[in-house]
Structure 1
Amino acid sequence: MFCTTCHSLAVTQGDETKLIGGDIGPELTKVGSKVNPDWLVAWLRDPQSYLSHALMPRYRWSDQDLYKVTQYINTRLTDPDLLSNVPPLEEPTQEEIRLGQRLFLEKGCASCHVIQGVSPQKDFGPDLAILGSKNVSQLEFGNSNIPRNLISYIQAKITDPLSVNPAARMPQYRLTPTDLDAITTALLSMTGSPANSSLARLVVPRPESAFRPAGAFGELYDRYKCAVCHRFNG
C-alpha cells in the first residue's frame, strides 16, 4: 500500500539509523506502542470516520490484509523499552480506591482538578476524570528523566511537578509513600467519561487545489484523496 510514500520509518543499517519515507504523515517507527489496537483497525479501515478532514486515503482493505497490517504495526513497530520500568501492580480494591479519593480531597487536589463526582473550586488544573485510561503517548514528560509510564508520571506530577513541567503552578506535595500510592491508585481508577466534556471535534484544514475535477473522475479523485499527493494546475 506504499505507506512510506507519506510516512517515515527509522531503519538501522550497521551503526547508522536513519529515517526513510515521506513526511506528509507522522513517523511510524514506534506507533505500535502508542495506539490502541481497536482504534488502529478503525482508523485504517476508514480514516475520515474519525477525522473528517484526514488526508490519509481510505484503502479498500480485505479483512485478511487489515489483520496482517495491524499485527505488523502492533508487534514490529514498537518501543521495546517503553514498559521496561513499569512496576507490577495488583488490581486495587474498592477500599484502596476510596482511601485515595479521600486523600485527594483532604490534600486539596480537588481545589484545582476535576475527578469523577467532584467539581473543582477553580479551573487551574486539567481534568483528571480519565487520567487512568490515558496512553503514554498522551502524556507530557518534558525533559524529565522519569520512566515513561503512567504511574511514574502521576507520582512525579504530585511530588515534583516542576520536573515534568517547569511552568507548572501546582504545589509540591510532601506525602508519605503510603499516601502517594493511595492517591496514585485512585487516579489510575479514573477511566470514565470526562466530568466536563467540552472538547470539540478535531478539524484539520485541508489544502484546496485550484482545480476540482468533475464527473465520475472527480468523485474518484475525492474518494481516494488523490489531492494528498497530486495536484492539477498547480
Structure 2
Amino acid sequence: MTSIALRGRPGATHVISPVIDFSAGPGNRTGRPGAEVDMPPVTRGFVGRRTRDKRLPPGQYDVGGQWPVLTAERAPHLDTSRWTFTIEGLVERETQWTWDEIRALPDERWDGDIHCVTTWTKFGMRFDGVSVDTLLDSARPRPEATHVVAHSHSGYTTNLPLADVTGGKAWVVWNAEGSPLTREHGGPARLLVPHLYFWKSVKWVAGLRVADHDEPGFWERNGYHDRGDPWSEQRFQGD
C-alpha cells in the first residue's frame, strides 16, 4: 500500500490500496499475473466514506475548536488612544476615525464560517464591529472607483474589488466570540471579509485607499490569487 500526506494537515496520511482489476479472472485480481486476492465479505457494519460537511469549501478541513494564528509579521502593540482608521483616495471626503469615534458608530454582529488559504476552516464564528458600508457612506467613493487597498498599521496591504467590501460583505471588527480581539488575531481591530480567504481580512487594520484600478498587495505580489474565493479554490495566481 501507498501513503500520501494530506494537504494542510501535518503528519496526517491517507492510505491508498492497490488497484484491483475486476475484469480479470479469479486468480488475477490485482492486474499482476498470478496474483491471488481473497476479497473479504461486506458486512452490515460497512457504511463507506463519511459524508463531507457541505459547509467546507474544496480542499478545506474543519479545524474544530482551534483558531490558528498565522501571520507574515510580528504583531504590533497598538494603543487605542492613538489608533485611527482612514478612508482616502478616490473619495469625495477623506475621513478618519479615532477609536472612540468608530466605536460610537452603529455596530453589527456577523455569525458564520472563516476559511484560511492554508486549508483550515473554522465554523460558527461570531464577530462584532461596524459595516464597511457605513464607513464608505461617510467618505463617498467617486463613480470611477472600482477597488480598495486595505492596509495595516504594520504596513501589510491587500487588494479587494469594491464590490467585495460593500453590500453587507465586510466589516471592521473589534470583538470575536464576545471578547475583544487579541493582538495575535488582529486586535484592537481588523478587517473582516469572510466570503474570501482570510488573508484578505487584514489584521491591525489602519484604513482603505479607494482606487480606480486593481493594485496587488503583499501576498498577491508573492503569488497568491488576486481575489481569493474559497469556493472556487482561488489560492494562487492562475487558479
TM superposition score normalised by structure 1: 0.23
Instruction: Mark the structure with the bigger radius of gyration.
Output: 2
Q: Which has the higher helix share?
A: 1
TM superposition score normalised by structure 2: 0.22
